[in-house]
Amino acid sequence: MNNNYEVAIIGGGIIGMATAYYLSKKGIKLVVIEKGYIGSGSTGRCIGGIRQQFSNHTTIHLMKQNIELFSQMEDEFGFNVEFYRGGYLLLAHEKKMEQEFIENIKIQRKEKINVSLLSPDDIKKLVPHINTDGIISGAFCPDDGQAFPFAVLRGYKKIITENRGDFLLRKEVVKLNKNKIFSITLEDGTKIEAEKVLLSTGPWTRELGEKVGLDLPLYAERHEAMITERMPKFFEPMIVDYRSDGCYFHQLINGQVIGCYTPVPNVPGIREDASFEFLPNIAWRMTRLVPSLKNASVLRHWGGCYTMTPDGNPVLDESEIEGLYVASGMSGHGFMFGPAMGKHLSKFIVEGKWGMDFKDFSINRSFKINSEHLK
Amino acid sequence: MKEKVIVCRCEDVTEDEIVEAIQSGATTLEELKRILRVGMGPCQGRTCGPILVSLLARELNKNPKEIEQWNKRPPLKPVHMKIFVEE
Ligand SMILES: Cc1cc2nc3c(=O)[nH]c(=O)nc-3n(C[C@H](O)[C@H](O)[C@H](O)COP(=O)(O)OP(=O)(O)OC[C@H]3O[C@@H](n4cnc5c(N)ncnc54)[C@H](O)[C@@H]3O)c2cc1C
Ligand code: FES
């Protein structure tokens, strides 16, 4: 292996892998450097939900492309990535939330997203097991869905390898310098040179950026998830309860139910531990909505990170250091953002111009205006 | 025809599939688990875990003791949600 590359991608999560995949299709000489194994960061801990129901134009536009890209993966990879359109059902328990859904639906429909506001009766028809007490309405898009993160990563890895992209696994980047070109030092002392570098290192991006003097407004939070045994399929959509003591969960196509909640207050830091309070809490929150889940058996419970920014939108841009790109701050949406983001970013890295407007994700924005309401 | 050997009964995964995953780069139980869902069934790997360790050792020419154990995830044994909800 020669240690000179056109592009070095640091971080083998969904963002780094999607970008490497599209770069490899353009014949770029690249390496993916990952301190664990592919998917060992947040991507392997996520629950695989994919939705287009956002409030920010850029995000909605990007997600529309993502649904398309997920649907093409089986053909591109030669195996099934468990992409399935079961829809996303967002619940409103208060007028304020409902009003927000109505506003968002207007924006989403401009992007031709098939979304509508459902009454409690419609919701009951869609999910017969749901307890509609307190629900006043729900926003539903049947084209949203799910995919299996590890299958997607495996597909990317397969094609990147076929296109002669290199992988350095279990190698942590400990130093990064730029002197005309980039010099990357790995923990074992190996040096890699690259003309361009992408930091797709999730919650670790802030500390890596600091090594080259970047001050990135990225903050890690711990989020936990759990999965049950398989059960006969009994509901289709991802159910999102936006109350402060809400939760979100769906049934995978193999029948397992997988779910999370957003803790209030949040739990800051790069942490992957699992708390004692999570299981009692999620059990209560999920069975409040779907009482028949009382008989479901929980198999596993784990923790992982969301990487946050002050305004809830990601950072996707070239930094002030020419040739150094940053893609992080994906909040709870990095998996679904990944494919189209990687595609756009690969074009930007190669051609120096964006194929769509990403100023809402720019590195120099004010980070003050909260333009994404559907966290 | 070669006989199919099921290693993980819960997730229905064969020896051939495991060997193929190891040959394409998996070196640990954590990776096999992610690629094939082995060890993620109701028994949480109590049945297939030791066989997976010996397959990894055999394919990687290592001593089984050198194979990294997988992270134990709570609750260790399946529990009904209702035990958290009902008094
Ligand atoms: C419980 C939970 C549920 C979620 N549910 C969803 C969901 O339903 N849908 C969705 O879209 N998103 C979901 N997410 C969010 C999603 O997982 C993340 O946004 C996404 O995985 C981020 O991908 P990434 O590539 O940016 O980061 P990561 O996957 O974290 O990848 C970064 C990689 O960089 C590597 N790395 C870091 N530092 C170095 C270094 N110095 N040298 C070498 N390598 C390094 C890490 O090992 C890691 O593998 C969820 C997250 C959690 C925790
Ligand atoms: S036999 Fe593999 S998880 Fe049970």
- Which pLDDT value is given to residue B71? 78
Cβ distance A298 to B81 less than 8 Å, yes or no, reads: yes
pLDDT value at A276 more than 60: yes
Q: Are A117 and A125 in contact (CB under 8 A)?
A: no
Q: Which domain holds residue A190?
A: 4-46+150-218+311-361
pLDDT of residue A1: 55
Domain stops at, among A265, A286, A308: A308
Average pLDDT, chain B: 89
Using a CB–CB cutoff of 8 Å, tell me whether A79 touches chain B: no
CATH number at residue A234: 3.30.9.10
What average pLDDT does range A51-58 have in this prediction? 96
| A-to-B residue pairs, Cβ atoms closer than 8 angstroms | 68
- The total of structural domains in chain A comes to 2
- Read off the tokens for A78: 């030669």
CB within 8 Å: B84 and A280: yes
Q: Are residues A227 and A304 in the same domain?
A: yes
How much distance in Å is there from the Cα of B55 to the middle of ligand 2? 15
Give the distance from CA A272 to its chain's centroid: 16
In this complex, the residue of A44, A287, A300 whose CB is nearest that of residue B85 is A287
Nearest-by-CA chain B residue for A286: B81
pLDDT-derived band at B75, boundaries 50, 70, 90: confident
Look at residue A275 and tell me if it is in a domain. yes
According to DSSP, the β-strands at A173-179 and A297-308 are unpaired
Which pLDDT tens digit goes with each residue over A108-165?
999 999 999 999 999 999 999 999 999 999 999 999 999 999 999 999 999 999 999 9
If asked whether residues A230 and A349 sit together in one domain, one would say: no
A210, A228: one domain: no
Q: Are residues A117 and A232 in the same domain?
A: yes
- CATH class of the region B6-85: mainly alpha
A73 domain residue, yes or no: no
* Tokens standing for residue A219: 């903050």
Residues A298 and A173 reside in one and the same domain = no
- Please indicate, yes or no, whether residues A226 and A345 belong to a single structural domain of this protein: no
Residue A278 pLDDT > 70, yes or no? yes
Q: Do residues A164 and A209 both lie within one domain?
A: yes
> Residue B47's pLDDT band (boundaries 50, 70, 90)?
very high
Instruction: Determine the Cα–Cα distance for residues A173 and A188; give it in Å rounded to an integer.
Output: 9
pTM for this prediction? 0.95
Instruction: Identify whether residues A245 and A302 lie together within a single domain.
Output: yes
User: In the listed set A275, A308, A341, which residue is the last one of a domain according to the structure?
Assistant: A308
Taking CA atoms only, the protein residue closest to ligand 1 atom 46 is A41
B20 at interface of A, judged by CB pairs closer than 8 A = no
Put simply, whether A277 touches B (Cβ < 8 Å) is no
Percentage, residues of chain A above pLDDT 70: 99
Asked if residue A288 and residue A229 are part of one domain, the reply reads yes
Residue A214 within any structural domain of the chain: yes
Cβ of B73 within 8 Å of Cβ of A300? The answer is: yes
Residues A177 and A41 in one domain: yes
For residue A306, what are the β-bridge partners?
A: A221
Q: What is the pLDDT of residues A243-260, one digit of tens each?
A: 999 999 999 999 999 999
Same domain, A223 and A304: yes
Is the model's pLDDT at B2 over the cut of 80?
Answer: no
Q: Are residues A213 and A236 in the same domain?
A: no
pLDDT digits (tens, 9 = 90+) for A170-204: 999 999 999 999 999 999 999 999 999 999 999 99
Does residue A75 fall inside a structural domain? no
Pair of tokens at residue A262:
């957003």
Smallest CA–CA separation between B85 and chain A, in Å? 6
